[in-house]
Amino acid sequence: IQEPQLQGQDTGMQCEDDRTGIGVETLKRAFLDNLFYVQGKFPALATKHDYYMALAYTVRDRLLQRWVNTAAIYTQEGSRTVAYLSAEFLMGPHLGNNLINLGIYNQVQQAMTELKLDLKELLAKEEEPGLGNGGLGRLAACYLDSLASLEIPTLGYGIRYEFGIFDQLIRNGWQVEKTDKWLRYGNPWEIARPEWAVSVKFGGRTEAHKNAQGRYRVRWIPHKVVLGIPYDTPILGYKVNTANTLRLWKAEAPESFDFEAFNRGNYYGAVDQKVTSENLTKVLYPNDETYEGKQLRLEQQYFFVSCALQDMLRIMLRQKLPLEQFHEKFAVQLNDTHPAIAVAELMRLLLDEHEMDWEPAWEITQKTFGYTNHTLLPEALEKWSLKLFSSLLPRHLEIIYEINWRFLEQVRHKFGTDEGRIGRLSLIDENDGKFVRMAHLACVGSHKINGVAALHSELLQKTTLLDFYEFFPEKFTNITNGVTPRRWIVLSNPKLTNLITSCIGDNWIKHLEDVQRIETYAEDPGFQQEWQQIKRENKVNVAEILLDRTGVKVDPDSLFDIQVKRIHQYKRQHLNILHAITLYNQIKQNPNLDITPRTLIFAGKAAPGYYIAKLIIKLINSVAEVVNKDRDIGDRLKVVFLPDYNVKNSQPIYPAADLSEQISTAGKEASGTGNMKFAMNGALTIGTLDGANIEIRNAVGAENFFLFGLTTEDVGALRLTGYRPREYYEQNPQLKQAIDQIASGYFSHGDRSLFKPLVDLLLDKDPFMLMADYQPYIDCQQQVSQTYRDRDRWLQMSILNTARMGKFSSDRAIREYCQQIWKVQPVPVQLAAEKTGDG
């Protein structure tokens, strides 16, 4: 690195401000300045991490002006604001995204090169905030990007987990979990705002008291109080001045020390309370196979929801808005049922703390909330035992009883005394012990309820939420998910971005429907050639990553067949592995077989307590071990499991895929968003009629999509007539051979017991119908292999996939939320504004 030159070196007419300027010279100077004054290092002693931090601060400086201005304008205009409540925000690394959205990627790259540093290496140094499990948290992140890009005033509210989703190691083929210490070296993107801390109560009891007007009100006397400290991260929109706020809450004890205990000489006891309070936001719960009612999770949910609503009330007071206008000021979205307790908490705040009457409070509450459902799997629906609920949130339980009583009265009024229906609709589940049903609370307390893809919304209305649909059909709507093209094309696939932009300009980055204009090039040999070249380079890049991280060498000219997502039985990674085994057997039986060479790439985490999912990872790695070292197979088939799937590791993956595996059992995947990221980057999809696959297929054309398998109706019908998975096995020699090999220890060094639980499950129950879908899947894969050999046809299909994915931008989804649910307008931000605000 060159010597630091800290004095103004600009030779231009005007010297740029070091905190805002974006010229290469200014960036270099600001970077070295931050290295010195923030990191306290000079180049000779600086580590890569120091350089990353110096660059992060340099970029953050350029965000701050926009952030402060945005807050000032929102405050001044009292803008209607979206509050997105989510227990998960899977933001991914900030630096690269901010460079793209600020429009300074190239300048910064040049500045780093001139300082003899490699921007890519610095980008790789960022520890991503893995504050989510998968699709749900990543969707929240894409939505924040689009909300800012569309200039919609927004606050994202969530939890600042000290440990996010675990890091995954693979040892001896098994997943091993390691704590994710993402805050270890500091987080340059957040600013703590202790001055806006709030208190959150837990436990204890309630009592009636008379207020100043002599009217009875309820008072909650808690057993403990925890402080919520907000940490703010700016979320900049793409090439706009809007920088919204992601406000994550950390739990702290109100006093670090219990001085009474300390004075009695109990030093350890004195710090106890601090430790227990801070445990609240220690760790993110991994998504389990089934839902488990863990106390700490309900505490987390209530904690961040209460912090968020109290923060909104603070903002209203600060802006001198009457509480009666709460729903006019804020449109609050519940991202799944995790924040559903917000319905009862807003009621409590309005009734008990602000002495409002029930009817107006309830009207405000219902007008405030919208609820997004993300899953139909009954085992994933949250419910809390009354015992736990009443010990933690006694006042909320009273409020929920009252909401329920009034609601069921309305049901009786509409449908008469249909006790079955009343039992099904009740907020309290009395079937098997007593539970509070969070989805029911969310439905009753919201004015809109949406699913995340057309099929999912339809199934919600027909099955999981049928009774609610019959009661208030007008509340139901669909908003199909979307993903941001900024992170998932521009940042992840710069070469494709440049090619598209060189043909049609860059408007498509903000208006993805525009990418349709590349359709005219779909059969252009020159364009096809460039398209193919880019895909190949992206595959070479992934081949290097695979070699580096797994030691497996793969051929970039083989068909890259990729499945990356959480490991779950319904997502059927094991169906994919049955295909791998089938291909393996075909080559072994006919060593000269001329097949299309394939590389099967898997990545994804299994919840630590989800045994079968972990066994599926072990199976993938066991098959990989046998296949990859078999000389008969050579380069015709490779199977690789890439460890530690997260946002950062996924970014190179989507651009390198030829084939995207979206093979869930029909009716089980609410939407999927990986399916969108792949298709946007020119991968073809092999998939079932499930989730958003259906809409993707409609958009790209049935002839450009590889469809197979049972439909949702078929699955239901088969289940009704009695599904016998073993029959498929017995009648299909290829399938039988594959299963028998797994069972006989062929892939497990002769160990027959290892995969027995999985084999038994498939043959006896097969809840996700792999046996029924096996042959159609194998046939469809055969068609994929043949099509891949027709280079021109494949390229044309690939280009058309990208060209027709406009609908799946999160900008479209957010526009729909704004129009149909939130009724909120853009508020553009001008930079010159000299105003002050408080966020």
Residues recognised as catalytic: 374, 565-566, 571, 673, 677
Please tell me whether residue 289 binds ligand H2P under the rule CB under 6 A: no
| CB closer to ligand H2P, 554 vs 575 | 575
- 653 HSE (CA, 13 A, CB side): 30
Please tell me whether residue 452 binds ligand H2P under the rule CB under 6 A: yes
594 phi and psi, to 5 degrees?
Answer: -95, 85
**Do 642 and 665 contact (CB within 8 A), yes or no?**
no
Residue nearest to ligand H2P (CB): 135
131 phi and psi, to 5 degrees?
Answer: -90, 40
Angle (nearest 5°) at CA 791 between 788 and 792:
130
Please tell me whether residue 672 binds ligand H2P under the rule CB under 6 A: yes
| CB closer to ligand H2P, 305 vs 452 | 452
Kindly give, in sequence order, each residue whose CB lies less than 8 Å from that of residue 580, ignoring residues fewer than 6 positions away. Answer: 600, 623, 627, 637, 639
Nearest approach, Cβ of 481 to ligand H2P (angstroms)? 5
Distance, in Å, from the CA atom of 543 to the CA atom of 513, rounded to the nearest integer, reads 32
Indicate which single residue of 96, 164, 370, 691 sits in contact with ligand H2P (rule: CB under 6 A): 691
Indicate which single residue of 100, 102, 136, 270 sits in contact with ligand H2P (rule: CB under 6 A): 136
Nearest approach, Cβ of 424 to ligand H2P (angstroms)? 24
According to DSSP, residue 724 is labeled -
Distance, in Å, from the CA atom of 645 to the CA atom of 565, rounded to the nearest integer, reads 8
Please tell me whether residue 566 binds ligand H2P under the rule CB under 6 A: yes
| CB closer to ligand H2P, 584 vs 817 | 817
Please tell me whether residue 670 binds ligand H2P under the rule CB under 6 A: yes
Indicate which single residue of 569, 671, 748, 781 sits in contact with ligand H2P (rule: CB under 6 A): 671
Distance, in Å, from the CA atom of 257 to the CA atom of 15, rounded to the nearest integer, reads 51
**DSSP-assigned letters across all residues of 451-505:** ESSHHHHHHHHHTTTHHHHHH-GGGEEE----B-HIIIIIIT-HHHHHHHHHHH-
Q: Are strands 191-192 and 383-385 parallel, antiparallel or unpaired?
A: unpaired
Distance, in Å, from the CA atom of 640 to the CA atom of 757, rounded to the nearest integer, reads 23
| CB closer to ligand H2P, 134 vs 339 | 134
Smallest Cα–Cα separation from 477: which of 441, 446, 445? 446
Distance, in Å, from the CA atom of 7 to the CA atom of 29, rounded to the nearest integer, reads 8
| CB closer to ligand H2P, 348 vs 614 | 614
| CB closer to ligand H2P, 366 vs 478 | 478
Distance, in Å, from the CA atom of 309 to the CA atom of 320, rounded to the nearest integer, reads 16
| CB closer to ligand H2P, 69 vs 457 | 457
Distance, in Å, from the CA atom of 87 to the CA atom of 678, rounded to the nearest integer, reads 26
| CB closer to ligand H2P, 368 vs 693 | 693
Please tell me whether residue 139 binds ligand H2P under the rule CB under 6 A: yes
Please tell me whether residue 339 binds ligand H2P under the rule CB under 6 A: no
Q: Are strands 89-90 and 130-131 parallel, antiparallel or unpaired?
A: antiparallel
Distance, in Å, from the CA atom of 704 to the CA atom of 707, rounded to the nearest integer, reads 9
Please tell me whether residue 638 binds ligand H2P under the rule CB under 6 A: no
Buried b (16+ CB within 10 A) or exposed e, 262-273: eeeeeeeebbeb
**170 membership: H or E segment, kind and range:** strand 167-171
Binding residue count for ligand H2P, defined by CB under 6 A: 17
205 phi and psi, to 5 degrees?
Answer: -150, 175
Distance, in Å, from the CA atom of 459 to the CA atom of 378, rounded to the nearest integer, reads 13
Ramachandran region, residue 701 (left: φ > 0; alpha: ψ -120 to 50; beta: rest): left
Nearest approach, Cβ of 186 to ligand H2P (angstroms)? 29
Radius of gyration of the chain (CA): 28
| CB closer to ligand H2P, 133 vs 273 | 133
Window of 130-138, 390-398, 618-626, 739-747 that interacts with ligand H2P by CB under 6 A: 130-138
Please tell me whether residue 135 binds ligand H2P under the rule CB under 6 A: yes
Please tell me whether residue 481 binds ligand H2P under the rule CB under 6 A: yes
Window of 127-135, 231-239, 586-594, 812-820 that interacts with ligand H2P by CB under 6 A: 127-135
Window of 128-136, 352-360, 626-634, 636-644 that interacts with ligand H2P by CB under 6 A: 128-136
Please tell me whether residue 133 binds ligand H2P under the rule CB under 6 A: yes
| Beta strand extents in 604-725 (DSSP E only) | 637-641, 659-662, 684-687, 706-707
Window of 76-84, 148-156, 655-663, 666-674 that interacts with ligand H2P by CB under 6 A: 666-674
Window of 117-125, 135-143, 219-227, 357-365 that interacts with ligand H2P by CB under 6 A: 135-143
Indicate which single residue of 39, 97, 365, 375 sits in contact with ligand H2P (rule: CB under 6 A): 375
Please tell me whether residue 563 binds ligand H2P under the rule CB under 6 A: no
Please tell me whether residue 484 binds ligand H2P under the rule CB under 6 A: no
Please tell me whether residue 669 binds ligand H2P under the rule CB under 6 A: yes
| CB closer to ligand H2P, 453 vs 735 | 453
C-beta atoms surrounding 520 within 10 Å: 12
Window of 53-61, 274-282, 382-390, 669-677 that interacts with ligand H2P by CB under 6 A: 669-677
Indicate which single residue of 43, 134, 156, 709 sits in contact with ligand H2P (rule: CB under 6 A): 134
Window of 225-233, 486-494, 608-616, 668-676 that interacts with ligand H2P by CB under 6 A: 668-676
Please tell me whether residue 165 binds ligand H2P under the rule CB under 6 A: no
Nearest approach, Cβ of 824 to ligand H2P (angstroms)? 21
Residues of this chain that interact with ligand H2P (CB under 6 A) are 133-136, 139, 374-375, 452, 481, 565-566, 669-673, 691
